[in-house]
Amino acid sequence: MTISYNWLSEYLPWPIEPEKLSAILTAIGLEVESLEAYESIKGGLAGVVIGQVLTCEQHPNADKLKVTTVDIGADSPLQVVCGASNVAAGQKVVVATVGTTIYPLGGEALTMKVAKIRGVESHGMICAEDELGLGSSHAGIMVLPDSVTVGTPAAAYFQPYSDWIYEIGLTPNRMDAMSHYGVARDVCAWLTHHEQEARPVSPFKNGFTAGSGTPVTVSVLDTEACQRYAGITISGVTVAESPQWLKNRLMAIGLRPINNIVDITNFILHETGQPLHAFDAAAIKGNTVIVKTLPEGTAFVTLDEKERKLSAEDLMICNASAGMCIAGVFGGITSGVTDKTTAIFLESAWFNPVHIRKTSLRHGLRTDAATRFEKGVDISLCAEVLKRAATMIVEIAGGKIGSELIDIYPSPRAKTEVTVKYHYIKKLSGKNYHPDKVKRILSCLGFELIKEDIDELRVSVPYSKPDISIPADIVEEVLRIDGLDNIDIPATITMSPAIEQIGPKEALKDKMAAYLVGRGFLEIFTNSITNSQYFTAETLDQTVKMLNNLSAELDVLRPSMLETGLETIAYNINRRNLNLQLFEFGKTYHTSGPGNYTEAEHLAIYMTGNAQDTGWRTPASASDLYTIKGLVQALFQIAGLPDIRFEAAENNGLLNIVLGKNTVGVLGVVDRQKAQQFDIRQSVVYADIQLKPVLRSAAKQTITYREVNRFPAMQRDLALVVDQSVTYAAIEAVVAKTKLSRLTDMRLFDIFESEKLGAGKKSMAISFTFTDEEKTLTDKETDAMVQKLIQALEKETGAVIRK
């Protein structure tokens, strides 16, 4: 929520310093996220003065330059070199003096210095309007009326607008603070409570005088979706540019002025929180306004010139023949105010928040009006705000109020009543409030006292606070106005111990992340919402689709981690960051039908380019399948799960990571066609590990202590000649079947291929390590175990031992 300091101060009993006001706002629960100075002209024209050109001579060394002397009200005139074709003696001009910084439109800031221009000194600059930010013209220097006094600061003459702008982080329930008046009400309640003297919020002026007759009739057919509707006709208006004060107010909070009618409705919205809508009275066919729904699929063109298909649940403001506006959300293309409008029908209504939110999301129209209606506006203010707006329109746009005020409110809403006990306030707040303080705070916020007993207070809740319905809400209001920073901190704090549920899981993830970071990897966080164009139709059948995607490119929840990781890789490669080692903990999402959704947590690892750059001792080494395979093995070792194996996956060229009987991940080289989707031309290897089964298996492991073996290890090397199709994983599986308890390690250290070995053959050199924890192994015992390995390998793989 954006709040203007100048605007807010109009409703306060006296001005409060911006920094102090910021502290008050935060103390009452309206957290100030930023406080920044606003200037309609950047720099505020500081150092810029009005001067008079005394002389204007041709520059001796340049045809298009003039040498002038300018009186700025100082002891002596300034010599200024000027390139403007319209400069002449006797003119009143705007001068930026030495040391002044100006901010040209569309350019960089420029600080004035004494400079030599073609050999002639220049002490400042005679400015054009775009050089000062006063306009867009650069046709020549600004020439002011002769009546302007020399030496007058430009800021005093042009009077640029300055303000302080607060960005307030509102919680979703605080619709009562979505306006300057609502914020002022809270500030005044704080002042009343802390100053011990009534400081009511200043009321806005409302000199309303109703007209006569009803040139436009109103009929509300859906009283559930529209529980109150007020309107009034204003004739004889002149649609034109708004006065400067109104434009300043809107521009300070980031709104673009459009015309006086639209600007007034925007002003009222941000002043009171009540959205208004102005219709061109000439567009109301049959002089009838009907609030109703239209048939499913009805076409309607909105102000942004887009045709939308309406739902049968969308509430519409219609004339006698067609829809004019999506109620509370967005106007139509044909009924809005234009330069030719001479009469308007002004609407102020209360629309059901549920209806408005559904319509807003259905059509992707997140307007200021919809945002307020869906949180619940103050139903009691509809007519009063309408009077305020009508009065402003008559004052600013001319014309007269041409009808009675129409106010359809068939079932006036009763105020919510809440009973709260004083001891409950103490229990919940931890502070013992005197009953008089509680009543004063609530009274300042608009609550009405209904009944009071010794330990009980019953109040009616103002319509501006639809979120308040239970005693805890009343306690919160008291705490806010007393100041959230005034809550006492007890000397002792008691707490109930809880069973740790996610500690082991997060600890293991931290260990994995720490290992990867130690290996030079960077952790990334990518968007879990991605583009459906990345996936095949078969994959999309099980993909969770967004019902209200904010863009065409972000329309599904990711079914795999790979694509969002490749987006990051492509982004970096396009910026010549070619060597990447990345990892991400994230989730994927799937559906098996309406209402059946699953999500899975993953660890995704990506490598591309060089794993190690060229050094003075070592050559560069590229990231490849074996690099990432070793990395995955190390991660499972860290998790206490060393007994994993890798098996070829079917039809996709990847390797499955198998733990026990379950596949818990895949690794491999990214398919070339998939890489081309992201315009990646270099090889990318990746691993995708499903964390849930890994964490579940790791949780079952117990840490045991084992003494370091005191006896030496025995090593034997075997060179196996096998078919080209035999993998190292197959050899590992054969060795595992021998169940040699004293075989503690095996390592592949060489692969040799040659025609001398025979067609389709290769030699794999493997080192085996044997140990015994109770004695030193003898050569005979070791050779016996090696012989058992040889027999198993010859039988299972057809291996021949090279002698």
**DSSP summary character for residue 545:** B
Mean pLDDT of 293-318: 94
The DSSP secondary structure of 738-759, one letter per residue, reads T--TTEEEEEEEEEE--GGG-T
Is the entire prediction scored with pTM above 0.85? no
pLDDT(98) > 90: yes
Mean pLDDT highest for which of 214-218, 288-292, 501-505?
288-292
Mean pLDDT of the chain: 91
Give me the pLDDT at residue 173, please: 84
DSSP helix/strand/coil, 439: helix
Q: In Å, how far from its chain's centre is CA 499?
A: 35
Question: Using 50, 70 and 90 to split pLDDT, how confident is the model at 549?
Answer: confident
Q: CA-CA distances (angstroms) from residue 176 to 23, 186, 248, 484?
A: 19, 9, 24, 18
462-479, pLDDT tens digit by residue? 999 999 999 999 999 999
Which residues 6+ apart lie within 8 Å of 377 measured at CB?
175, 273, 274, 275, 350
What phi and psi values does residue 734 have, to the nearest 5 degrees?
-65, -45
What phi and psi values does residue 13 have, to the nearest 5 degrees?
-65, -25
Give me the pLDDT at residue 499, please: 66
Mean pLDDT of 759-766: 92
Mean pLDDT of 735-761: 90
pLDDT(583) > 80: yes
Beta strands in 594-708 (DSSP E): 596-608, 610-612, 621-622, 644-648, 655-659, 662-669, 684-690
pLDDT(198) > 80: no
99-117, pLDDT tens digit by residue? 999 999 878 889 999 999 9
788, exposed or middle or buried, with CB in 10 Å at 0-12, 13-18, 19+?
middle
Give me the pLDDT at residue 259, please: 94
Give me the pLDDT at residue 707, please: 85
Question: Using 50, 70 and 90 to split pLDDT, how confident is the model at 250?
Answer: very high
Give me the pLDDT at residue 168, please: 93
Give me the pLDDT at residue 443, please: 92
Angle (deg, nearest 10), helices 435-444 and 180-195:
160
Q: Which of 667, 674, 542, 666 is nearest to 599 (CA)?
A: 542
Q: How far apart are CA 135 and CA 138, in angstroms?
A: 9
674 neighbors 566 (Cβ within 8 angstroms): yes
DSSP helix/strand/coil, 497: coil
What phi and psi values does residue 589 have, to the nearest 5 degrees?
-135, 140
